[in-house]
Amino acid sequence: MTTILEMRNITKRFGSVVANDDVSFSVRKGEVHALLGENGAGKSTLMNILFGLYEQTSGEILYKGETVNIRSPRDAINLGIGMVHQHFMLIPAHSAIENVVLGYEGNAAVLDLKGAAQRFTEMAERYHMNIDPWELVSNLSVGQQQRLEILKALYRDVETLILDEPTAVLTPQEVDGLFEVIRQLIAEGKTVVFISHKLPEIREICDRCTILRRGKVTAAGLEISEIKDLNELARLMVGHEVELVTEKTLSEPGDVVLNVENLNYTNDKGIHVLKDVSFDVRAGEIVGICGVDGNGQSELIKCLTGLLPATSGKIELMGNDITGSSPKEILKQGIGHIPEDRHAMGMVGQMNLRENIAMVDGHDEPYSSHGFMHWKWIDDFSRKLVAKFSVKTPSIMEKAINLSGGNQQKLVVGRELSREANLLIAVHPSRGLDIGATKYIQSQIVEARDRGVAVLMVSTELDEILEIPDRVLVIYSGRILACLDQCDCTRSGLGLLMAGIEDDSEEQTA
Amino acid sequence: MRRRMNHRLFKRLQGKESDLMNEVVSFFSTTIRLAAPTLLAALGIVFSERAGIVNIGTEGMMLVGALAGVIGSYVTGSAWLGMLIAVFVTVLFSAIFAYFTVVVKADQTVIGTGMNLLASGLTITVNRALFGASTSPPEIDSFGIVAIPGLSSIPIIGPIFFNHHIIVYLTFILVPIAQFVMFRTNIGLKVRSVGENPKACDTVGIRVGLTRFLSILYSGVLAGMAGSFISMGMVSFFTEGMIAGGGFIALAAVVFGNYTPRGVMLSSLVFGASNSLMYRLQALATNIPSQFLLMIPYVITIISLCIVSRKSNKPLGSGKPYIKE
């Protein structure tokens, strides 16, 4: 096999930060090459250089043996390099086919969308990725949008396709579908660069891998088939031994802390989002809610925390009816809430760490009295919190927005855990975090459980759902389809339930 | 005797009927004439808005166009050359706006407001320097009414649609062309896309800055034409601050017309009609104070904007400069 792409001694600096430090990366024609690394290791930066979105500070790129100068995505596309970004580069207000032809060099002045749609549909059928070319992108599911992105690149006849964390947003079945497409691309002689930090899927789909850590290559071109132990890859990625499994003892559930009965919610568009949801969470146990995004999880949590009014049903916290209470009243009853979107709901980016820490309980002792803030106490408390939850920051006066995603999440988790709540609601606690930060936050949640806190956790990550909760509720289309003990959960069984297939899961997995 | 009386009565009734008919014809004809400058400017703004630029500076651009047209016409003796000069000067003026918003990536509202203040002061200074503060404006060539032979003699339809300034015809012909360009051509797709998601456009090789810059210059061309049509067609002189909110009305027409050329035409006609109504009511000399009548077009603007604020085609990236990481 010949080398199709070579990046030699690439260095990229953003101001004083070195994102890529003398990185060399070489890909053979016709292989799936994994680019592994934690968040912030420099994977996306390296690929954005290859795709012409960034310009390297130094180093050179060879494509098919020739030195190339890639100054813009147009140069990359003309060479035959395509990229599917982690955050899709689609325009929701346009139709699928308009997104495909946008910026295409073969366009005539007056667009021939019908002809393009025909070519697109033929191509889509060949790869078994059927998408209606006239559908608006805003009506496509996340999985369909990803397929559209892949087809958009193939429409430009790319030979090398970069996939940036493609599985982060997919259900297990959709991941299988994606892998099928990748295998077909390889069979046609194309080359795929696969960016990820999920080790099991790397082993399943990739031929070789290159590992980055803090902008440097720690392993180049490892043959995946020769790797026996995934811990070995994890060590190269993180730099020290990591426990891939969070230590956990059997739970000892106590009294019921949260009790939800026949909860219904209909939104302002008249859509019945939650249908007769009933469950309870006991002290000292973790209940996980798993499901594909958009099946009512977010509305359920908002009803529990008072951000949305339930249409009917009853919510009890420690025996008190909190249905219809305001968020402030509910927080006072002892709920800690790690919200789904830390930027929009968990913190105020433009405020500093100590202000963010004081935000939730700031109107009470000991944070303040008679409306005056006790900054001395807050500073003291903030420093302890930052140290305890190992939030990496120059000082507590730093703006929250300047922290990395993982450290922002540690800040929010730390604040909510130190509120001595009876119930902790954690929504996507590890979304967007690397292995190190994920394991740390998961262990903190388990520790809270062991202290007797009732935990309700929402996640779309099957790995997390299989590992952390003691009981798992599967939500589909606003309904709780199943309640399983952790030991009864299997990957394929949960995957089918998440897709709404309600057949007896034992039968399916037998 | 009786028959004669009947005949007289009939004639009187007929006279009243034709008065009413004249009234209606004149109302619609005025509506179209008054809608034209709003529509012309709005057809430019609809492109820059789609490209993600909130062009608050349109008012100032039209004012500059109005003065440049008069000066051009005064110097060359031709309204057409006057308009050409107005377009040239307004494009230069809009290039300042484009430079600061697209290249420097400054806040569009702040720069737009600055452009309006600059235009207001600049036109007053230049006007007084050239023509003095005299009360009698200079004689200039202006656009006259061009009745379309044949068509204009059709009763009712003729005087309403085919008895206008040539710029009015051009403006309405531009509507289907603009609609076609926006939704059927490669350029139109690019313009609509850079306003929605500039980063996505960057990844498929579209030059976002250039597209936005050119769409601002294009809106400058039409703002210059609209401004000079006001000073050389609606009237034939320049007065200080003569656009009187026309640029903002055009901006509102784009929002009310939901960001499509066809919609913009309908909303401009609504504004034209409300202006026309205001003039009718003023002429009728009712007891309503004239200040209230003058408010009509602006009140209708506010009400119409409230009605359409839901479910809009407003581009997602509207008003935000595109800053590459």
Residues of B in contact with A114 (CB under 8 A): none
Structure confidence at residue B135 (pLDDT): 67
The CA distance from B176 to the nearest CA of chain A, in Å, is 15
Between B234 and B312, residue with greater pLDDT: B234
Count of all residues that appear for chain B in the document: 325
Residues of B in contact with A111 (CB under 8 A): 184-186, 189
Q: What is the pLDDT of residues B133-166, one digit of tens each?
A: 666 778 888 898 889 898 888 888 888 899 899 9
B68 vs B84: CA distance, rounded Å: 9
What are the angstrom distances between the C-alpha of A136 and each of A98, A145, B257? Answer: 9, 10, 21
B287 vs B23: CA distance, rounded Å: 20
Q: Do A92 and B316 touch (CB under 8 A)?
A: yes
Q: Do B196 and A91 touch (CB under 8 A)?
A: yes
Q: What is the pLDDT of residues A245-297, one digit of tens each?
A: 777 788 888 899 999 999 999 988 788 899 999 999 999 999 999 988 778 89
The CA distance from B179 to the nearest CA of chain A, in Å, is 13
Tokens of B136: 């009698």
A374 vs A365: CA distance, rounded Å: 9
B192 vs A362: CA distance, rounded Å: 46
Amino acid at B116: N
A259 vs A321: CA distance, rounded Å: 9
For range B38-57, the mean pLDDT: 96
Say which of B187, B193, B324 has its CB closest to residue A91. B193
Q: Is the link from the previous residue into A366 a cis peptide, with omega within 30 of 0?
A: yes
A405 vs A402: CA distance, rounded Å: 9
Distance, C-alpha B313 to centroid of its chain: 21
> Chain A interface, mutation test: which of B49, B183, B196, B203, most A Cβ atoms within 10 Å?
B203
The CA distance from B197 to the nearest CA of chain A, in Å, is 6
Query: How many CB pairs below 8 Å do chains A and B form together?
Result: 70
Nearest to A495 by CA among A461, A448, A453: A461
What are the angstrom distances between the C-alpha of A44 and each of A60, A173, A197, A418? Answer: 17, 26, 12, 35
Contact B258, B312 (CB under 8 A): yes
Residue A152: closest C-alpha in chain B:
B204
Q: Do B203 and A98 touch (CB under 8 A)?
A: no
Strand (E) or helix (H) holding A406: helix A405-417
The CA distance from B287 to the nearest CA of chain A, in Å, is 46
A284 vs A298: CA distance, rounded Å: 23
pLDDT tops 60 at residue B169:
yes
Q: Do A93 and B313 touch (CB under 8 A)?
A: yes
Q: Do A105 and B205 touch (CB under 8 A)?
A: yes
Nearest to A456 by CA among A290, A246, A247, A263: A290
B233 vs B249: CA distance, rounded Å: 19
Count of all residues that appear for chain A in the document: 510
Q: Do B203 and A51 touch (CB under 8 A)?
A: yes
pTM of the model: 0.79
Q: What is the pLDDT of residues B289-318, one digit of tens each?
A: 878 888 887 888 788 777 776 667 888 888
Q: Which residue has the tokens 């061309």?
A: B221
Residues 6+ apart with CB under 8 A from A195: A34, A35, A43, A44, A47, A86, A162, A163, A164, A165, A166
Q: Do A53 and B200 touch (CB under 8 A)?
A: no
Residues of A in contact with B192 (CB under 8 A): 93-94
The CA distance from A108 to the nearest CA of chain B, in Å, is 7
Q: Do B205 and A102 touch (CB under 8 A)?
A: no
Residues of A in contact with B315 (CB under 8 A): 93
Q: Do A93 and B190 touch (CB under 8 A)?
A: no
HEC letters along chain B: CHHHHHHHHHHHHHHHHHHHHHHHHHHHHHHHHHHHHHHHHHHHHHHHHHCCCCCCCHHHHHHHHHHHHHHHHHHHCCHHHHHHHHHHHHHHHHHHHHHHHHHCCCCHHHHHHHHHHHHHHHHHHHHHHHHCCCCCCCCCCCCCEEECCCHHHCCCHHHHHCEEEHHHHHHHHHHHHHHHHHHHEHHHHHHHHHHHCHHHHHHCCCCHHHHHHHHHHHHHHHHHHHHHHHHHHHCCCCCCCCCCCHHHHHHHHHHHCCCCHHHHHHHHHHHHHHHHHHHHHHHHCCCCCHHHHHHHHHHHHHHHHHHHCCCCCCCCCCCCCCCCC
The CA distance from A242 to the nearest CA of chain B, in Å, is 33
Structure confidence at residue A508 (pLDDT): 40
Residue B191: closest C-alpha in chain A:
A102
The CA distance from B100 to the nearest CA of chain A, in Å, is 23
Residues of B in contact with A93 (CB under 8 A): 192, 196, 313, 315-316
Say which of A90, A107, A109 has its CB closest to residue B200. A90
> Chain A interface, mutation test: which of B204, B260, B325, most A Cβ atoms within 10 Å?
B204
Residue A83: closest C-alpha in chain B:
B203
Structure confidence at residue A119 (pLDDT): 95
In sequence order, the β-bridge partners of residue A337 are A425
For range B272-276, the mean pLDDT: 90
Nearest to A86 by CA among A11, A168, A25: A168
Contact A124, A151 (CB under 8 A): yes
A121 vs A113: CA distance, rounded Å: 12
Q: Do B189 and A111 touch (CB under 8 A)?
A: yes
What are the angstrom distances between the C-alpha of A113 and each of A98, A106, A109, A125, A155? Answer: 7, 12, 12, 18, 13
Domains of chain A in sequence order: 3-238 (3.40.50.300), 254-333+450-510 (3.40.50.300), 335-420 (3.40.50.300)
Residues of A in contact with B205 (CB under 8 A): 72-74, 77, 103, 105
Q: What order of strands is seen across the sheet that includes strand A191-196? A: A81-84, A160-164, A191-196, A32-36, A208-213, A216-223
Q: Which residue has the tokens 């990957």?
A: A491
pLDDT tops 80 at residue B60:
yes
Q: What is the pLDDT of residues B13-39, one digit of tens each?
A: 566 667 788 888 999 999 999 999 999
The CA distance from A114 to the nearest CA of chain B, in Å, is 11
Residue A108: closest C-alpha in chain B:
B186
Tokens of A221: 């071109």
Residues of B in contact with A90 (CB under 8 A): 197, 200
Q: Please report the ipTM that was assigned to this predicted complex.
A: 0.85
HEC letters along A198-261: CHHHHHHHCCEEEEEECCEEEEEEEEHHHCCCHHHHHHHHHCCCCCCCCCCCCCCCCCEEEEEE
Residues of B in contact with A85 (CB under 8 A): 203
Packing angle, helices A113-126 and A142-155, rounded to 10: 110
Structure confidence at residue A509 (pLDDT): 39
> B 193-232 residues with CB below 8 A of A?
193, 196-197, 199-206
Residues of B in contact with A74 (CB under 8 A): 204-205
Q: CB burial class (10 A; 0-12, 13-18, 19+) of residue B185? A: middle
Structure confidence at residue A505 (pLDDT): 42
A97 vs B325: CA distance, rounded Å: 28
Say which of A92, A94, A108 has its CB closest to residue B186. A108
Contact A417, A424 (CB under 8 A): yes
A338 vs A429: CA distance, rounded Å: 7
> B 161-190 residues with CB below 8 A of A?
184-187, 189-190
Q: What is the pLDDT of residues B61-104, one digit of tens each?
A: 999 999 999 999 999 999 999 999 999 999 999 999 999 999 99
Residues 6+ apart with CB under 8 A from A183: A205
Per-residue pLDDT of chain A (510 residues; tens, 9 = 90+): 689 999 999 999 887 778 899 999 999 999 999 999 887 788 989 999 999 999 999 999 999 999 999 999 999 999 999 999 988 999 999 999 999 999 998 899 999 999 999 999 999 999 988 899 999 998 888 889 999 999 999 999 999 999 998 887 777 778 889 999 999 999 999 999 999 878 888 889 999 999 998 889 998 988 988 887 878 888 888 777 666 677 778 888 889 999 999 999 998 878 889 999 999 999 999 999 998 877 889 899 999 999 999 999 999 999 889 988 898 888 888 889 998 877 778 889 889 999 999 988 888 888 998 889 999 999 999 999 998 888 888 888 988 888 877 788 889 988 998 888 899 999 988 877 777 788 888 998 999 999 999 999 998 888 888 889 999 999 988 999 989 888 888 888 888 888 787 755 444 433
**Does B314 lie at the interface with A, CB-CB under 8 angstroms?**
no
